[in-house]
Chain A
Amino acid sequence: MTIFTCNDGYEDMMTCIYDAWSARLGHNQIRLKAEPIGNLELFCEYRHIEKDPEKTAKVIRSIQKKISWEAYQMVYRCAMSSHPNKLDAIYRFLILGFAYGSSVTHMLKETAVITVFEINRRVANEAHLSIEFMRFSNTKENILVSHIEPKSNVLTLVAPYFSDRMPSENWMIVDDARSMAIVHPSDENYYLTPLTEKETLYLNTQTDTEDSYAGLWKEFFKTIGIEARKNYKCQRTMLPLWHRKNMTEFR
């Protein structure tokens, strides 16, 4: 068994798929895994793959052309997940995809398809919840800053929505767990950028204690619940506790 490993970036993963495929060792003789690897297995050869923009572009083009745009989106979202076997799942899905074409996304009987379908659904749901529960705070310079710590890497999935929602505002979304940020200057395109330690420290000092609208919102949130119907269990089902860490009304 040969195991192809790579860093947990999108380009790395696409290159890894390319190299694993072109190694021609037989699909059943190989596995793919995003790093960190953890415990090593006996009788396995590990090959680390470095990212390569050309190979990445080839894989992306093939998926979009030979399978479908829908399948590509599923693969992309799947790659953003924190699922330990996501890369291998994508690989198995692509084997079927290149054989059956665009209909593969509906072949839910196949284990390879249902696995990717399921991971994709989870990531899409998490991205949607992030859109719902994200909270911005207004800094003194009138910039909106939001901190999130999602399980999946949802930054690129939520950015288009907010860029449509607030095109003429200065805002940024900071992923504290991955030290990445989406920055959107007013009336311009947004971009994804890694954060340095200094920048992270600076951002953490910017708290919204003086924002009067945050106080108004907290009061509104308390007032709007009906006492006679109170149901914290239902509230926790709809809005799980781990989402609440960065939400204004729960702080």
Chain B
Amino acid sequence: MNSGSGLSLQDKLNILADAAKYDVACTSSGVDRKGKKGSLGNASAAGICHSFASDGRCISLLKILQSNECVYDCKYCLNRSSNDRLRATFTPEEVCRLTIEFYRRNYIEGLFLSSGVCKNPTHTMELMYLSIQMLRTEYHFNGYIHVKAIPGASNELIEKTGYLADRMSVNLELPTTEGLKELAPNKTHSSILKPIEQIQSGIMDYRLAVGKKSKMERHSGNRYLTDTIFDHTPYERIEERSLLEVQHLHLPSSGTVSPFVPAGQSTQMIIGATAENDFQLLKTTQTLYQRYDLKRVFFSAYVPLNEDAKLPSLDTAPPLLREHRLYQADWLLRYYGFHAEDLLSPEKPDFNVFLDPKCDWALRHLELFPVEVNKADYAALLKVPGIGMKSAMRILQARKRSILDFEHIKKMGVVLKRAKYFITCQGKMMYHIRMEEDFLTRQLIGEDSKTNWAIDNPQTYKQLSLFDDMSLTIPPTVEDTRKSIGGQL
């Protein structure tokens, strides 16, 4: 192993950005903060992307590792201790200078600091804490900071870091305990959940101290929905718990409460390295939102980096369409009032390759459709494929004064391509359409097949063919085999 002393800043940046790029969640969202004279930076709750890399993912934050030295040996990870790689560690000054100079030139919205486990978790966390402490106090940086909490680090360090960062996250890595035992032998779910719980309790304390509700804010449209995953959780009552914990509040001495992780915490899971199905993943996601009040759960399609008997082979393509479907479903949970159980079930544990989760759900619930655009409430409009939060709101506002027709809602942003099968305007559908599951499925699949194929096969071109099946293969039936033997096919 190379220890990498005497590296230039450019070399270090290359090594530590390259090692950090597989982390997802490069968002700068969740907190609004005004700039102030004498410091540099502000934050905007919607988040600001500054560039898009060659893989089409947004670059919002300077995503780097503090160090890529690691004592752990997680099978899937590029920086595992058994890999022979050039190792480097940033000093706090280097992190600060890079962040400040990039920020001034409007390259980035802030810093995303993660790290391999250098010596031990507490030592690593301390290095990271020193970096962001220097950034906030000596360099007067007022922009966005996202820090990974290292499981196993001391509680005190995680707490001190939380008072400086906007968002913290702990990687769940894999959704099941078995998967974790298999691929990340040094990590356990209980050690990962401990810092998540600590940060959650810190966030609740802070929120109560400044007079907010203990739970994180969700999308404003959710107040018109009755039964979202955030409304009643099957787990402990967070409200009651938070009341009990008020006595542990860190009451401010100077009058103002310093924010603790104001943009909330997030986590990420690897998709496709182990054998979980989509239903397990989505259930885990929902549980994380309900039990730990996470702001976001991110999914990362497994990109094979290491060769190992326990991992998929090196030529496996990253499951991009599956990742896409999971994100679509994640949005349905957080913004549309769906539950994991509505979308999938143990009998049907995986998403439809051909249809997005909302279309798929709508086709299985044709008894609820068509919906009358001029009468239906927000919740009913949201369930229509092709209508999102914005267009639903616009419809509600516009119909106060006039009766709407298809041409009007089209201009408002409704995707009629999908919505036309599920809505009526003044009692009429757009065309004469049979409300029949098989017919509608055929129609909808025909319209989306190209996009779906492109998601899973980015940057490839193929010859058009009369017998195009868009590479979504259907295994031959017994009859086909018989026919082909008989020469009929």
**From residue 419 to 471 of chain B, which have CB atoms closer than 8 A to chain A?**
454, 458-459
Instruction: Count CB-based A-B contacts (< 8 Å).
Output: 166
Contact across chains for B36 and A248 when beta carbons are under 8 A apart: no
A146 contact from B52, B56, B106, B402, Cβ within 8 A: B106
Judge whether A106 is part of the interface by a CB distance below 8 angstroms.
Answer: yes
Q: How far is the CB of B146 from chain A (nearest CB, A)?
A: 15
Known: A134-B106, A248-B105. A229 touches B48 (CB 8 A): no
Chain A contact surface mostly: helix
A187 and B35 CA atoms in complex are apart in Å by 12
Known: A216-B10, A231-B458. A109 touches B48 (CB 8 A): no
The contact string, 1 if C-beta is below 8 Å from chain B, for chain A 153-168, is: 0000000000011111
Q: How far is the CB of B96 from chain A (nearest CB, A)?
A: 13
Judge whether A224 is part of the interface by a CB distance below 8 angstroms.
Answer: yes
Contact across chains for A226 and B55 when beta carbons are under 8 A apart: yes
**What is the total number of residues of chain B having a CB less than 8 Å from a CB of chain A?**
58
B301 contact from A109, A219, A229, A239, Cβ within 8 A: A229
A17 and B383 CA atoms in complex are apart in Å by 43
Contact across chains for B102 and A217 when beta carbons are under 8 A apart: yes
Q: What residues of chain A lie closer than 8 Å to B301, measured between beta carbons?
A: 229
**At the interface with chain A, which of B57-65, B153-161, B264-272, B284-292?**
B57-65
A92 and B48 CA atoms in complex are apart in Å by 34
Judge whether A81 is part of the interface by a CB distance below 8 angstroms.
Answer: no
B35 contact from A108, A137, A166, A214, Cβ within 8 A: A166
A110 and B407 CA atoms in complex are apart in Å by 11
Judge whether A233 is part of the interface by a CB distance below 8 angstroms.
Answer: yes
Judge whether B14 is part of the interface by a CB distance below 8 angstroms.
Answer: yes
A131 contact from B48, B101, B397, B408, Cβ within 8 A: B48
Contact across chains for A109 and B402 when beta carbons are under 8 A apart: yes
Judge whether B326 is part of the interface by a CB distance below 8 angstroms.
Answer: no
Contact across chains for B105 and A213 when beta carbons are under 8 A apart: yes
Judge whether A26 is part of the interface by a CB distance below 8 angstroms.
Answer: no
Chain B contact surface mostly: loop
Contact across chains for A221 and B40 when beta carbons are under 8 A apart: no
Q: How far is the CB of B299 from chain A (nearest CB, A)?
A: 13
Q: What residues of chain B lie closer than 8 Å to A239, measured between beta carbons?
A: 51-52
A230 and B53 CA atoms in complex are apart in Å by 9
> CB-nearest residue of chain B relative to A131?
B48
> CB-nearest residue of chain A relative to B38?
A168
**From residue 80 to 117 of chain B, which have CB atoms closer than 8 A to chain A?**
98, 101-102, 104-107
Judge whether B39 is part of the interface by a CB distance below 8 angstroms.
Answer: yes
Q: What residues of chain A lie closer than 8 Å to B219, measured between beta carbons?
A: none
**From residue 212 to 240 of chain A, which have CB atoms closer than 8 A to chain B?**
213-217, 219-226, 228-235, 237-239
Q: What residues of chain B lie closer than 8 Å to A106, measured between beta carbons?
A: 394, 397-398, 400-401
Known: A135-B106, A220-B62. A230 touches B48 (CB 8 A): no
Contact across chains for A165 and B10 when beta carbons are under 8 A apart: no
A6 and B350 CA atoms in complex are apart in Å by 61
Contact across chains for A213 and B106 when beta carbons are under 8 A apart: no
Contact across chains for B459 and A233 when beta carbons are under 8 A apart: yes
Contact across chains for A229 and B55 when beta carbons are under 8 A apart: yes
Judge whether B411 is part of the interface by a CB distance below 8 angstroms.
Answer: yes
Judge whether B417 is part of the interface by a CB distance below 8 angstroms.
Answer: no
Contact across chains for A165 and B54 when beta carbons are under 8 A apart: no
Contact across chains for A166 and B397 when beta carbons are under 8 A apart: no
B411 contact from A108, A144, A146, Cβ within 8 A: A108
Judge whether A103 is part of the interface by a CB distance below 8 angstroms.
Answer: yes
**Residue from A100, A164, A187 whose CB has the most chain B CB atoms within 10 Å:** A164
Q: What residues of chain B lie closer than 8 Å to A232, measured between beta carbons?
A: 54, 56, 459
Chain A contact residues, CB within 8 Å of chain B: 100, 103, 106-110, 114, 118, 131-138, 144, 146, 164-169, 187, 213-217, 219-226, 228-235, 237-239, 247-249
Q: A217-B107, A226-B22 are in contact. List 12 more A-B contacts (CB 8 A).
A: A114-B408, A114-B412, A137-B105, A164-B42, A169-B40, A216-B13, A224-B20, A224-B63, A225-B21, A225-B54, A229-B56, A231-B54
10 A-B pairs with the lowest CB-CB distances in the bound complex, closest first: A234-B56, A225-B54, A231-B458, A106-B397, A225-B53, A229-B55, A164-B35, A108-B398, A231-B56, A239-B52
Instruction: List 29 A-B residue pairs with CB atoms under 8 Å apart, sorted by A's residue number.
Output: A106-B398, A107-B402, A108-B394, A108-B411, A109-B402, A114-B411, A118-B411, A132-B51, A133-B51, A134-B106, A135-B106, A164-B35, A164-B42, A165-B41, A167-B39, A213-B105, A216-B10, A216-B102, A217-B105, A221-B53, A222-B54, A223-B21, A225-B54, A226-B22, A231-B56, A233-B458, A238-B52, A239-B52, A248-B105
